[in-house]
């Protein structure tokens, strides 16, 4: 076990994979200086400019060229800088990468990790703050990961690089510096949730940074005598339905919380799936951002945040209401 940050954990996983496999390489803007969040620091020195490759400000081509390079046998890690800019490469991801294997009748694979730093961070406003994970979960062909801890950013990155499917890998910008113990013997399994805390009264389901807020909320709830189970999905596609179902069967209460807009968010998918599969003691709830745009001023930004207090409040309310 070593203590490291969320950014360092992913960097270690990338470095180990690159040492083990010459076909793995990284490409994105400003990578030659370690990347805009320093999540590649040290790698240019170790691996050189061909394997930690700078790129022109050409998001469509970064994505498209990495895909072409994957088709001929390399295993690219694509850095999109901010999840928001990945929208400039939507055709390449959604129409090409996600579909190639199927459209070509299984002739090809696109073993790629597409890193998209997401989420609200330091008054970054509407074009540098979005959480669009539910879009990608909607696209057949893609694997979608949203790790919330240094351990998961290490273990999931390892699994993502080894995966032969294209993996959309969303790291939360607000927790680059979050520290935690990392066991480097671990490799994550897609669709296997982390039970971040066990409990018997209410199930809190989340992913990415909001999962950390759920853990905080669970601590508050414990102080009030409410035992909350926190399930961090880690990957949204595939997602661990069995773990959520088992927990809800035990607690009878479900709260899903995410930073992204509630409308059409992945929380709706979780709630709907559970509604088809089990019964509740109180109506399941989802917490997400109001359907507004992320603002610059801190007070405005805060109006859109799902907080630990809100999660605890919803859980408390669910203990009172009856389905």
Partner 1 sequence: MRNFDVERGLARLTLMERIRAFEETARHAAVEEELVLGAIHLSIGQEAVAVGVTESLRKDDYITSTHRGHGHTLAKGADATAMMKELLGREGGCCGGKGGSMHIADFGVGMLGANGVVSANITIAAGAAHGVKLLGGDQVTVCFFGDGAANRGPFLEGINWAGVFELPILFVCEDNQYSASTKTSDMTSGNVADRARAIGLPVTEIDGNDVEEIATKSAEIIARIRATGKPEFMLAKTYRLDGHTYFDPATYRPEGEADRMRRESDPVSRQRELLQEAGVSETDLDAVRTTATAEMQAALDAAKAAPWPADDTVFNDVQDVGSPAQEAF
- Looking at beta carbons only, is 164 or 302 nearer to partner 1? 164
Q: Considering the rule CB under 8 A, would residue 185 count as an interface residue with partner 1?
A: no
For partner 1, the binding residue among 10, 13, 43, 69 (CB under 8 A) is: 69
Q: Considering the rule CB under 8 A, would residue 70 count as an interface residue with partner 1?
A: yes
Interaction with partner 1 in 39-58: which residues (CB under 8 A)? 50-51, 53, 55-56, 58
The closest of 72, 161, 141, 136 to 108, measured between CA atoms, is 72
For partner 1, the binding residue among 21, 46, 164, 183 (CB under 8 A) is: 164
For partner 1, the binding residue among 21, 46, 91, 302 (CB under 8 A) is: 91
The closest of 204, 206, 201 to 224, measured between CA atoms, is 201
- Looking at beta carbons only, is 245 or 293 nearer to partner 1? 245
Helix and strand counts by DSSP (H, E) for the chain? 12, 14
CA angle 293, 299, 304 (to 5 degrees): 40
DSSP E strand stretches across the chain: 2-5, 24-27, 52-53, 75-79, 113-115, 143-145, 167-169, 179-182, 194-197, 202-206, 228-232, 235-237, 254-261, 285-289
- Looking at beta carbons only, is 121 or 207 nearer to partner 1? 207
Q: Number of residues in contact with partner 1, rule: CB under 8 A? A: 50
Minimum CB–partner distance for residue 76 and partner 1 (Å)? 8
Q: Considering the rule CB under 8 A, would residue 21 count as an interface residue with partner 1?
A: no
Minimum CB–partner distance for residue 23 and partner 1 (Å)? 7
Spatial distance between the Cα atoms of 229 and 214, rounded to a whole number of angstroms: 9
Question: Sign of the C-alpha dihedral, residues 66, 67, 71, 73?
Answer: positive
Clarify whether 209 is annotated catalytic. no
- Looking at beta carbons only, is 9 or 98 nearer to partner 1? 98
Catalytic positions, please?
128
């Amino acid at each position: 076990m070593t203590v490291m940050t969320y950014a360092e954990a992913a960097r270690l996983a990338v470095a180990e994979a690159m040492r083990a496999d010459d076909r793995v390489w990284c490409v994105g803007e400003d990578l030659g200086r370690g990347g805009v969040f320093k999540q590649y620091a040290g790698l240019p020195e170790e691996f050189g400019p061909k394997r930690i490759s700078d790129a022109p400000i050409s998001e469509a081509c970064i994505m498209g060229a990495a895909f072409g390079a994957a088709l001929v046998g390399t295993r690219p890690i694509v850095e999109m800088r901010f999840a928001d800019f990945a929208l400039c490469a939507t055709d390449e991801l959604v129409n090409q990468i996600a579909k190639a294997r199927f459209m070509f009748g299984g002739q090809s694979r696109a073993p790629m990790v597409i890193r998209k730093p997401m989420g609200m961070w330091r008054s970054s406003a509407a074009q540098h703050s979005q959480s669009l994970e539910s879009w990608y979960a909607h696209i057949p062909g893609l694997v979608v990961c949203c790790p919330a801890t240094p351990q998961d950013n290490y273990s999931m990155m390892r699994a993502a690089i080894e995966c032969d499917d294209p993996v959309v890998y969303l790291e939360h910008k607000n927790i680059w510096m979050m520290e935690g113990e990392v066991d480097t013997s671990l490799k994550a399994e897609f669709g296997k949730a982390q039970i971040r805390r066990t409990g018997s009264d209410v199930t809190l389901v989340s992913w990415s940074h909001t999962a950390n807020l759920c853990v905080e909320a669970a601590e508050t709830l414990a102080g009030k005598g409410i035992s909350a189970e926190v399930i961090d999905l880690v990957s949204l596609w595939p997602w661990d339905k069995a773990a959520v179902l088992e927990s809800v069967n035990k607690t009878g209460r479900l709260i899903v919380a995410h930073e992204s807009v509630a409308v059409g968010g992945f929380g709706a998918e979780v709630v709907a799936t559970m509604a088809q599969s089990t019964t509740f003691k109180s109506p399941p709830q989802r917490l997400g951002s109001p359907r507004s745009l992320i603002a610059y001023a801190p007070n405005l930004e805060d109006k859109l945040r799902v907080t630990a207090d809100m999660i605890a409040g919803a859980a408390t309310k669910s203990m009172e209401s009856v389905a």
